[in-house]
C-alpha cells in the first residue's frame, strides 16, 4: 500500500500547477490532502473520478480555509468526518478512512504563527488530538496518521534550529509534545528509515527558501508501532512543486 500525504495549500491552485497529471504518474493507493481551501462544489470531482479514485472531502466552514481529504483506490469500509469536537471539526482538520483493520487519518494540525491566540489554540489542540487518537487506538489499533503536524521534531528537521528556537513550529513545548506522542507508540516513518539531514517538506515563499533548501520537515506519515513490521519505504518528493509543501510518502505491506 502506497500512501502519500500532501498539504496542497489550495486544491484549485495546485491543480492549476499540474497536480492531476502528477497523481496519474505516481498513482498512490491512498492520498491524504490537507489545506484544500475549497468546498466540494468548487473542486473538479469528475477529474478525480477519471483518475480512478474514490474521494472524500471535509472542508472547513470558513471558505478558502483549511480542510482535509482522503482519496483511495479501494472503497473504505467506513469514513469518519472529524473528531466530534466542534471547534476543530468546523475547521475541517481530521478525516478518517477504515480499510479492513487499518485506519488512515488525514490530519491538519493548526499553525500558531499568527499570534498568541492561535498558538494557545494549537497547544489545546495538541492535547485534545492526543486524547482523541489514544481513544481511537482502543477501537482501531492499526493507525496511519498522515498530515501536516506543523511541528519540526528535531534540529535535523529544520534548516536553522538556533534562529528558529522561539518560532511557532519549533518551540520547546511543541517538540516535547511530539516526543511524548512518539513515545506513546508511534513511528515517524521517514526518520525511522532516513537519517540524513536537509530533508524538508515545507519552504517559505520568501527569500528563495526552496531554491536554497532552507526548509522545515513538518509533514509526516506516523504509524502505530504494530505496523512497523509492514514498513517498506518512506520518502519526501521534494521535486513536486504544486504547493509550498511537498508530498511525503510511505509504503507498507498491505
Annotated catalytic residue within 29, 148, 157, 219: 148
Q: What are phi and psi of 194, to 5 degrees?
A: -120, 115
All three cell numbers of 7, joined, read 498539504
Rounded Cα distance between 56 and 80, Å, is 10
All three cell numbers of 5, joined, read 500525504
Determine whether 237 is exposed, middle or buried from the number of CB atoms within 10 Å of its CB (0-12, 13-18, 19+).
middle
- How many residues comprise the chain? 254
Please identify which residue in the block is written with the cell numbers 513538518. Answer: 218
Rounded Cα distance between 33 and 71, Å, is 8
- Catalytic (active site) residue 253: no
Determine whether 41 is exposed, middle or buried from the number of CB atoms within 10 Å of its CB (0-12, 13-18, 19+).
exposed
The CB-based long-range contact list for 199-202 (8 Å cut-off, 24+ gap) reads 199/236, 199/238, 200/157, 200/158, 200/159, 200/236, 200/238, 201/236, 201/238, 201/245, 201/246, 201/248, 202/7, 202/148, 202/244, 202/245, 202/246
What are the catalytic residues?
148
Amino acid at each position: 500500500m502506497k500512501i502519500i500525504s500532501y498539504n496542497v495549500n489550495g486544491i484549485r491552485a495546485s491543480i492549476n500547477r499540474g497536480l492531476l497529471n502528477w497523481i496519474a504518474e505516481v498513482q498512490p493507493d491512498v492520498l491524504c490532502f490537507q489545506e484544500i481551501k475549497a468546498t466540494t462544489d468548487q473542486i473538479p470531482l469528475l477529474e478525480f473520478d477519471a483518475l480512478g479514485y474514490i474521494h472524500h472531502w471535509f472542508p472547513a466552514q470558513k471558505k478558502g480555509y483549511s480542510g482535509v481529504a482522503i482519496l483511495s483506490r479501494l472503497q473504505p469500509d467506513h469514513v469518519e468526518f472529524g473528531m466530534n469536537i466542534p471547534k476543530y471539526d468546523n475547521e475541517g482538520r481530521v478525516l478518517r478512512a477504515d480499510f479492513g483493520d487499518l485506519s488512515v487519518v488525514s490530519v491538519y494540525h493548526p499553525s500558531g504563527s499568527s499570534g498568541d491566540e492561535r498558538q494557545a489554540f494549537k497547544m489545546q489542540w495538541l492535547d485534545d488530538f492526543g486524547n482523541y487518537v489514544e481513544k481511537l487506538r482502543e477501537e482501531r489499533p492499526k493507525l496511519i496518521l498522515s498530515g501536516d503536524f506543523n511541528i519540526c521534531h528535531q534540529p535535523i528537521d529544520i534548516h536553522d534550529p538556533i534562529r528558529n528556537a522561539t518560532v511557532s513550529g519549533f518551540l520547546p513545548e511543541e517538540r516535547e509534545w511530539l516526543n511524548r506522542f512518539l513515545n506513546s507508540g508511534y513511528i515517524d516513518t521517514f526518520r525511522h528509515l532516513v537519517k540524513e539531514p536537509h530533508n524538508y517538506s515545507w519552504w517559505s515563499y520568501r527569500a528563495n527558501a526552496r531554491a536554497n533548501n532552507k526548509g522545515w520537515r513538518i509533514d509526516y506519515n506516523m504509524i502505530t508501532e504494530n505496523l512497523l513490521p509492514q514498513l517498506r519505504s518512506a520518502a519526501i518528493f521534494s521535486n513536486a512543486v504544486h504547493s509550498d509543501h511537498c508530498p511525503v510518502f510511505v509504503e507498507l505491506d498491505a
